[in-house]
Structure 1
Amino acid sequence: MNDIEKLLGDFADAWGRRDVGAVVEMFADDAVYFASVGPEPGRKATGKAEIRDLIETMFAVDQGATSETSEPIVFDGGAFWSWRYTLPDGSIELGCDLLRVADGKITLKDAYRKVRAG
């Protein structure tokens, strides 16, 4: 297991526990997070304070959901993985993230989500 795989494994575990503090600590101070939903095409959060606010909002909205990630596909300086959310009503949401990593911290999390027609 390389350093990026370890970081992302820890990230997925903290996300699954809904441990906002642990999740945020894995981001670089100047990181950027593009959420898969929001007022723009997604919602952009820059820096740990905005990322914390974004994650707290997301966890409040999908309270009770469980998440799973695939094994990351790691490349120099980052990774890609897919994810699956099971919401409390049993519905499933699928998506993926492009992640960039430098100096042991996530510098970019760019999330994409499958959208149902209708």
Structure 2
Amino acid sequence: MGMTLERLERFGEAWRRKDLDLLMEFMTDDCVFRASVGVEPGTTFRGRAEVRRGFELMLAYDAGYESRGGEAFITGDRGASQWSYARTGDDGRVQEVHGCDFFHFEGDRIRVKDAYRRVHGHIGDAAAG
């Protein structure tokens, strides 16, 4: 049996609830998490203990933001999902971060979660230099 959209949606719901135990039930023993933030850019976590620690660090990094799901698809043993985080700043403006995850599945479990995010910045600043 392979990964289904319904099961992938349950993984996303567990992420939004910050349920580390449930999140890890979706992961294979040899899982890999490539975080959207870190020094590589991003940080890569390998194996169940490290991936759990990586999930915990990312959930703490995004604390204070409301997690929102988005579209997802699965093709064979690969898939992707969109997500966003939003919060209202002190000035009353809503700040949003958008991202996506690319997945490699093994059966109905996640072997690789590879995360990317769009961040706020000024594109003109880079072109001016």
Q: TM-score, normalised to structure 2's length? A: 0.82
SS at match of 1:111: strand
Residue in 2 that maps onto 1:97: 101
Structure 1, gaps ≥5 residues long: none
Structure 2, gaps ≥5 residues long: 123-129
User: Aligned partners of 1:88 and 1:51: how far apart in 2?
Assistant: 30
User: Aligned partners of 1:34 and 1:3: how far apart in 2?
Assistant: 20
Runs of 4+ in 1 over 2 A off after TM superposition: 87-90, 115-118
Residue in 1 that maps onto 2:68: 68
SS at match of 1:87: strand
* Deviation by residue 1:76-118 (Cα, 9 ceiling, x = unmatched): 1121121111136341100111111112110111111113224
User: Aligned partners of 1:69 and 1:25: how far apart in 2?
Assistant: 20
User: Aligned partners of 2:28 and 2:51: how far apart in 1?
Assistant: 10
Q: RMSD of aligned C-alpha atoms?
A: 1.6
Task: Give the deviation of 1:61 after TM superposition.
Answer: 2.3
Task: Give the deviation of 1:4 after TM superposition.
Answer: 2.1
User: Which letter does structure 1 place at the counterpart of 2:58?
Assistant: M
Residue in 1 that maps onto 2:17: 17
Q: Determine whether 1:45 maps to 2:49.
A: no
Task: Provide closer, same or farther for how the CA distance between residues 6 and 104 of structure 1 changes in structure 2, counting only shifts above 3 A.
Answer: same
Residue in 2 that maps onto 1:114: 118
* Deviation by residue 1:55-81 (Cα, 9 ceiling, x = unmatched): 111222222322222221210112112
Q: TM-score, normalised to structure 1's length? A: 0.89
SS at match of 1:64: coil
User: Aligned partners of 1:100 and 1:77: how far apart in 2?
Assistant: 6
Task: Report % sequence identity.
Answer: 34
